[in-house]
A and B are shown apart, each in its own frame.
Chain A
Amino acid sequence: MSLTTRLPQTLKQVRPVLSTDHAEAKRRVLNLYKIWLRQIPYLRVDYIKNNWTETHLRNVIKENFMRNKDVTDLRVIDLLIVRGQMDFVETAEIWRQQHNTALMDSKKDSYKKKSTSFLGRFYEGH
């Protein structure tokens, strides 16, 4: 018989990082989104040099959340939530520098796309 049928049940589950199922992870994600949204007026004031508008901040926050929308692994989701919350605390407590925050720039154009054609990959090294 194959290995998976002979594995005892206790070995099949991985130890969770934060949440035990997807519903709880979803709740955490929505909570994180909510606190980022509530922080928007304070962000505009604390980082006033950047002249962010509310719609710009909303779009950037939404985009940052949507970038990870296809993740299905529960522990990865939890780690992303934790990282997002750490980011939030750093931003809220102004541990960043005002002029140095590219955090709220739209990152749509700055990602290097993976090349799909054979020659593209060849030039890059694989």
Chain B
Amino acid sequence: MLKTIIRQSIHLQPILNARLSTSLCNRLHTLSNHMNVYPNNSFWPYVIVSRRTAILDQHIKEADQMRTRPPSTPHDIERRVLRICNEYDKIQEANKNNITLSTHFMKDLGLDSLDHVEIIVAVENEFGFEIPDSDYDKLYTIQAMVDYLVQKMRIV
């Protein structure tokens, strides 16, 4: 991607015999009347340049979308996990604002193992990777879950 961008930005000198497609030609015909259209559909350089910049912009936009996100901090992960817990409707309203890092799912919030599975599935959907069954019994507190996620996402 970067090579294409560099290559195209270096070769910005005009090419007089570029051929554009007929539909594009017709559209350009209607846009402005003072275009110098040769019968074999070749244009003046400024049209070529503007088309090149359009392609360049498209490349830059794609590269921007493919750029990896900045590495998230543990605080960021913690915030997302807390948000998931707050959206979970089985937790009583009174406890929702008291959810801290050291909240134990079963003892403090009164959830059972099926609810625990539900929360883990929600966390999996949020972060995009699968948590194996053997790790379920490590993740009984929020602090443990955040540590586990940090460890998994740094390794990957």
Contacts and interface: CB of A to CB of B under 8 A. Distances in A.
Contact of B133 (A27, A37, A38): A27
B121 A31 contact: no
B12 interface: no
B117 A30 contact: yes
Interface in B111-129: 113-114, 117-118, 121
Q: A-side binding surface: helix, strand, loop or mixed?
A: helix
What band does the interface of chain B fall in when counting residues whose beta carbon is under 8 Å from A? under 10
B121 A38 contact: yes
A30 B132 CA distance: 12
Of B114, B118, B133, most buried by chain A (CB within 10 Å of CB) is B114
Interface in A28-68: 30-31, 33-34, 37-38, 55, 58, 62, 65-66
What band does the interface of chain A fall in when counting residues whose beta carbon is under 8 Å from B? 10 to 19
A34 B121 CA distance: 7
B148 interface: no
B136 A30 contact: yes
Contact of B89 (A30, A34, A55, A65): A55
Contacts, number: 21
B134 to A, nearest CB: 9
Interface of A: 26-27, 30-31, 33-34, 37-38, 55, 58, 62, 65-66
A55 B118 CA distance: 12
Contacts of A66: 114
9 contacts: A26-B113, A27-B133, A30-B113, A30-B117, A31-B133, A33-B114, A37-B117, A38-B121, A66-B114
Contacts of B117: 30, 33-34, 37
Contacts of B136: 30
B71 to A, nearest CB: 28
A69 to B, nearest CB: 9
B89 A37 contact: no
B114 A65 contact: yes
A117 B72 CA distance: 63
The 4 closest A-B pairs by CB, nearest first: A30-B117, A37-B121, A33-B117, A33-B114
